[in-house]
Amino acid sequence: MRSLYGKFLSFTIGIMMTSVLIAFLAVNTYYHHQLKGENDAKNMEIAESIASYIGTTEGVHLDNYLETLSAAGYKLFLVNEEQEVKRFGAPFRDENLPQSAINQVLGGKPFHGMRDLKTETFVTGFFSDELANTVGVPFTYEGIAYALFLRPDIKLLFTEVHTLLGGMVIVMAIVSLLSMLIVAKKLIEPITKLTEATQMVGEEQFSGVVEIHRRDEIGQLAQSFQRMTERLGENDRIRKEFISDVSHDFQTPLLNIKGYSELLLNQELPVGERVSYAKVIQSETERLSSLTKQLLLLTSLDQLTSPLKLKPFRLDNQFKEVIRKSRWLLQEKGISLSMDIDQVEYRGDPAFLEKVWENLLSNALKYTGDGGAVDIELTDGQDAVRVSVHDTGIGMKEEDIERIFDRFFRADHSRTKEVGGTGLGLSIVHQVVKLHGGSIDVISEEGIGTTIIVELPKL
């Protein structure tokens, strides 16, 4: 697999070469369609001035004069009417001048080779060192007709300025390439760190810190990755605690069931003890059943991806039905119940909300001693519905209030041992209220009682 750095290097070089090729083709096209005619006219004017000078000036030594012109930066090809050829200056790369062009100039007509040169795709006409890429003019010297073909010597025309400009372009290209490589390394370095951190997360190592301090998009990515890692670490901790708590909560009743079942196998066991042991097994079985149901409910809440099944219903009627189901416990423990319930039409998920009221009332009755009191209020506000459940039970310590919504948390196990519980009820309450966009507050004092206030916005 090619590294990102290698790909960046390849792309950079490819882009530079493509840019050079496109620029070359563009300049070549511009020359052929725009500058070629102008270049032909300019060189034709020079050639005509040379021919005029030779034809009108007495005492001119033709060869010496043309040698001087070649030294000044021109390539010259001279043909007389006897087809004798002389060359002045550097030789042409390709002497492809057709005989018809020579005869044309000797006949007195100029030759526009630069203008009429066939358009080339990959070789610009300006640099094409061919005899056909010249201008030709006629002149007469000492009574003999001549044809003079001329073009600039490109090598001689390249001055120190052109060399400096060419060197500057090369240096710019090298510096640009090296700069891009350095920039690429700086850009890829944090990505490499993120890759290593991702591999650590894949190995369930969530304690690493990504040392990337940037203010650009990569810095934002690093911050988001760090937050994600922290959340994953927290979730992993909660998951392990959850598994540990579930194992413990299942193990205890199972051990009790196993132990009392073995005792029941004793044929000499008195009937009274046998009934007592059977009640313990029944109680532990009901506890396991309750725990399983609440775990399934929590799982369904955790995996809830579709919106709640919202529909309008009478919240006061639902509350009264939940209270009616618990009448037997009120009478058994001699708990007085006071209700102040408004008539409320609410739009929510009735199935989930019923679990909320069942858990709140169940906790209030469970932790309230015989002869205590439970007060319930349901108030219909303008923007929200407010539910208050107050009991005169055992209450909670201040440090326990912050954790009562954690799964499997049970405040002061020694005080709740007799009443049992799974530690999942208030977790379910909190999650359902949150899904409805509501809030839940707890006010409690140890030995005095507890008040739980739920506010549900009107959806």
> Most confidently modeled of 7-16, 32-41, 215-224, 444-453?
444-453
Half-sphere exposure of 47 (CA within 13 A, CB side): 31
The pLDDT mean for the chain works out to: 81
The predicted model scores a pTM of 0.45
Straight-line distance from the first to the last Cα atom of the chain, in angstroms, rounded to the nearest whole number:
53
d(Cα 277, Cα 269) in Å, to the nearest integer? 10
3-state secondary structure of 406: coil
Summarised one tens digit per residue, pLDDT across range 153-179 is 877 666 555 566 677 878 888 888 788
Sorted by where each begins, the domain ranges of the chain are: 4-158, 306-457
Which residue shows structure tokens 């509501």?
Answer: 438
User: Helix 271-302 crosses helix 217-264 at what angle (to 10 degrees)?
Assistant: 160
119-145 pLDDT tens trace = 665 555 566 788 998 999 999 998 899
Report the alpha-carbon distance of residue 127 to residue 152 in Å, rounded.
10
Which range has the worst mean pLDDT, 7-21, 32-46, 155-169, 174-188?
155-169
Average pLDDT rounded to a whole number, residues 115-120: 76
The one-letter amino acid code at 323 reads I
Residue 378 CA to residue 272 CA, distance in Å, equals: 46
Query: Which pair of structure tokens corresponds to residue 336?
Result: 């007085």
* Residue 429 pLDDT greater than 70, yes or no: yes
Of 383, 313, 404, give the one whose Cα is nearest residue 353.
313
The total of other beta-carbon atoms located within 10 Å of residue 62's CB is: 16
Residue 133 to residue 125: CA distance in whole angstroms: 8
| Cβ-contact 449, 390 below 8 angstroms | yes
Highest-confidence segment of 204-218, 360-374, 412-426: 360-374
CA 189 to chain centre: 17
CATH, domain range 306-457:
3.30.565.10
Quick check: 115 pLDDT over 70? yes
Task: Look at residue 119 in the predicted model and tell me its pLDDT.
Answer: 63
